[in-house]
Amino acid sequence: MSRLPVLFAATVLTGWSVSAIAATIIPSPPVLDNKSYVLMDYDSGQILASSNPDLQLPPASLTKMMTSFIVEQNLLSGRLKETDPVLMNESAWCRGSSSESCMYVPLNSSASVLDMLRGIVIQSGNDASKAMAEHIAGNEGAFAEVMNDEAKRIGMKNTHYMNATGLPMDGHYSSAMDSAILARNIITSSAKYYPIYSEKWFTYNNIKQGNRNALLFTDPSVDGLKTGHTDEAGYCQVTSSKRGSMRLISAVFGTKSMNERAGQTRALLSYGFTNFETTALRPAAQSLATTPIWLGKTDTLNVGLTDAMKVTLPRGQSAQVQTSLSILPNLTAPIQKGQVVGKVIATLSGKTLAERPLVALEPIEEAGFFSRMMDHIKMFFSKLFK
């Protein structure tokens, strides 16, 4: 599988937490009867509430989020086409057992990649997941290696996959934190296919099945992502909800029933939207400053951010946040567009909230020989008399 660009890690906080700054301003998170949970702000990546976030637990069908993510990335890279036929081998075929969820593609027939993707996301089909694993990697074991490579690449530190479905298996585990990280990557880098996660129904082989995510039917702000259940894992759910300009991601592991996982998800989302707000501190792709450049065809460089700098804080505190730029000294050409030349730092009451790379907004070519010689002389005297 071709390597993909590095996307999001869990969070960019540096020495800051919600509780450290605002313990007396906001109420405590809800007390939930589960094994682990995380509530993450999508834009900033900040963790607003958590309990045992890195605990390694069986993820059940939340596993299929990685399966679908890899399918989506293969589609976006052109390695797969939506209309490509995918064969349903006997090794992937679902025999109609009531103990597992299935898309019900007939044995030795084919379904398109796009239909298989819907079968994975909406119907939670074990058969579709296995068939796509075999189609991409040759067999499910080899596909699990691809899954683990992707998990490592995007910063999932407490995840190890053994299969494409989430059926119980020794050595197959994930965490609430890692599931939120994966969800954040899906929403961003698989944006073309993300609307599938909000589709309520999918019919294949004349069998109509509803999405297992009950909140899609009751909460219009919810637009994904996945549920899971086995006796070992309990009832699990990863959810994305957008209200206004703010999007939250929740992950709950090990609840006792379908109603419990839905209710606990509602409680987490309500807590986040009620008590926090996300603020854009600095825009993307706009000059935040100009800095001198030595040895270049021009002597100044515009610097800025690749992505907007956002932080999530208790409501009412965003006006107190301050930002500052730290630019590397004595920058010399050539400079590539996007090259890191410093950082933007956000602080509140003297505490660092977040840092983002400050990058060159345009390339600077190296100057001719005589211009460079003059700059070398100027640089020498500027250091001598500093």
Tell me the catalytic residues.
61, 64, 124
Half-sphere exposure of 223 (CA within 13 A, CB side): 14
* Buried-state track 41-71, b at ≥16 Cβ within 10 A, e below 16: bbbbbbbbbbbbbebbbbbbbbbbbbbbbbb
Task: Compute the CA torsion angle 228, 231, 234, 239 (nearest 10 deg).
Answer: 0
Task: Compute the CA torsion angle 204, 210, 213, 215 (nearest 10 deg).
Answer: 140
